[in-house]
Structure 1
Amino acid sequence: MTTLAAASAQDMKLAVMLADIGVVLVAGAALGRLAQKLRQPVVVGEITAGILLGPSVLGLLPGNLTERLFPVDVRPLLSAVSQVGLILFMFVVGWEFEKRLIRPHARLAAGVSLSSIAMAFGLGVALAPFLYDEHATVAGHHISFVAFATFIGTAMSVTAFPVLARILTENKLLDTRAGSLSLASAAIDDLLAWCLLAYVSALVTANGNYADLGRIGLWSAAYVAGMLLVVRPLVARLVWRWAATERWSALLAVLCAGALTSAWLTTWIGIHAIFGAFLFGFVMPREPAMVLAEHLRKPMDHVSVVLLPVFFIVTGLGVDLGALTSGDLVALVAIIVVACTGKLVGAILPARLAGFSWREAKDLGLLMNTRGLTELIILNAAVSLGVLDGRMFTMLVIMALVTTAMAGPLLSRRRPAETGVSEASKVPEVSGEPDPYGPEAAVDFIRPRG
């Protein structure tokens, strides 16, 4: 009888989780649609749905509705589902990293990316001492200042490539200098952001032990070398061979297994799982592009549509606006100001030096200031590593929402009403033929999620 009762309780827990996922999908779709009507990326609506279902809104109503809808013993199951979706999404993000985006603007894109990262990271580290004392202890464990400051700098440095691509598409800015340059710079930004996160993960895992940090560094170097020199050619051979015989289902299963295994390996090494998924996607072959997009990318996109909203809801459950103190509100304003200043100034200065007008440079800065999904991934990684407490997590999620939501409305005011894009701002073509490595060609392949 006891075993039957236990089995029944376990079945009910699973049933509640399935019902929760249903609620998540409906709420995410509804708020995502509303966000689109307000000319915002879908991700803004989905994150907002998570916050509304969490303790900040639904939890304030009578009846403890958040706890009833998302019981504490069910949340680990939801978190596990969200992590699977996140790992597979990061695999796609790595796969989407396209040299074609960077090639036409390589030098300037690198300058804008490095400048915006350096400025935002530096200001974040400078802000860290004013935040540290209040957030130095997480779940009873003391966090070193170096780890905390490095992470705050990393959180300020992020530009969300997938969301940015969606904003450019919806605002018809892909064929402008600011649009194409921001896309190339954001691609570099994302790559550097994952490297920074890998470093922070190693720093936290080593816990101040330089011998452990050195071991993690050596294993990480061996892992990267193995992925580039061994796994990359093997995966390319497998993809070409199985694509020729149209063994798509088996190939998709093997690739998902590879992403999950790579994520496990980086976790074992001491850097976060998402880095492993990203790098496995990075070593994936890009050709034949159309065939791979049709038979492999589309199914992966469908998985993201189902599983990623769960990630947003889990994130929203960790956001508690009611827990913020008056001092936290001052800190929140400082965080938003520092985040915007670092990205705007860091992007505008190199653009002006390169001959961009003030309008183009400001648009570039606004685009580089979007953080969206990439920021949420990094924030959740920091929580799992024990670097952020609940209040700091809440403040940084709000910062991510504000910096993402502000881009669309401000950009739309700058577009000429008659044509949508001024002729002077278009990217010059080398010849009369369309550029096969231009932003339009790359975005056709990546199908950005936003």
Structure 2
Amino acid sequence: MSNESPLIQSMRTAVAAAPADVPLRLHLAELLLGEGLGEAAVAEAAVALQHAPGDAGARALMMRAMGLPAPAADKAETAEEPEQPAAHRPSTGFDWAAAEDEVADAVPPRFVAPAPAPGPGATAPEAPLVADGSGDPGDATAWEVDAPGTVTLADVGGMEEIKERLEAAFLAPMRNPELGRLYGKSLRGGLLMYGPPGCGKTFIARAVAGELGASFMSVSINDVLDMWMGNSERNMHEVFETARRQAPCVLFLDEVDALGAKRSRMQHGGMRNTVNQLLTELDGVGGANEGVFVLAATNVPWDVDIALRRPGRLDRTLLVLPPDAPAREAILRYHLRDRPIESVDLGKLVKVTEDLSGADLAHVCESASERALLDSARTGVVRMINMKDLLGAAKEVRPSTDPWFASARNVAMFANEGGMYDELLAYLKRKRKL
């Protein structure tokens, strides 16, 4: 660094003070590249991509610093030509397919096998949708409601058994309101999803909303609980009122064990009143909940008040287990999609990541990226993420689901009233965890 100019040294100090500032780091990389310090520029661009994997500017800068063909969008922006009408401007996205064709002889393939054909259960999960606000532009509300999204169960990789159960027990009746009216079934419903953390319960709830073409509203205890007497009950009522105004709407109660904990264990009367209010809202006296589909998720169903699972409330349950092999492949492909990888054998990686949750798999990809990044910074030679990095990261990550199964095993064996945990018991026997 002794050969660096005072300006670059000052920029390094600024970047060190704000390491997550991507534009600042890219400005430093541009200065380094301008002074012929290509390897240092690549290292800074790589760190920027760690903070913002989808940043097209960071990708383009790294390509230039590595001496690879610049993206067409960058060439169009730097050419001294009159500004074109918006409809005729070149796209600012980077065409990765064209770049791979141009450097096919120099850069190894990203995966050792081609990607599977798109189809239900085989596609990678999409990124969570960005909230679009409430339905009526003139109706200001404190509760954020997402407009009907495009994520459906086809975007959930694998997990076919869960999809089939959702379709049979929940979605099919809701998609056929005429049949429902014929058989006297109201257009409402409640489903309790339980299982170890990090296995995609929230994503499944969004997919259900997409299947139904319904708005999506996610609520947790932080949205409801208030220190002042009576405010928590009022907040709970407003949550359901908002969902009713936005019907059809999927109301997702995250960590319902906190919102609807067992009242017999509560010492504070205010929380008991909040649970009572939740029960009242779920009943929807007079058909008020028509078109409101309540989905709830919990890691500890044994802590949920038994009254919540009474018929007409959250009367159906769904066990969401760690992702199966097709789901793990989809999740790994999703988290590696914007990272510089070479010759990754997803089939082998899927086999060694059995029992890992979706969150664990994301951590494997992140840890492998850190390995390649640190190695590149230490040697001064930028390299791709390879199978050695991924296998090493997978070996270090222990399944975060193990403590949950240790607790759930005792409950399933000795407190399985009404057969609620029969599915969990069958899974534990199949995995030989009993």
Verify same fold: TM over 0.5: no
TM-score normalised per structure 2: 0.21
Greater length-normalized contact order (CA 8 Å, ≥ 6 residues apart) = 1
> Which one has the bigger helix percentage?
1
TM-score normalised per structure 1: 0.21
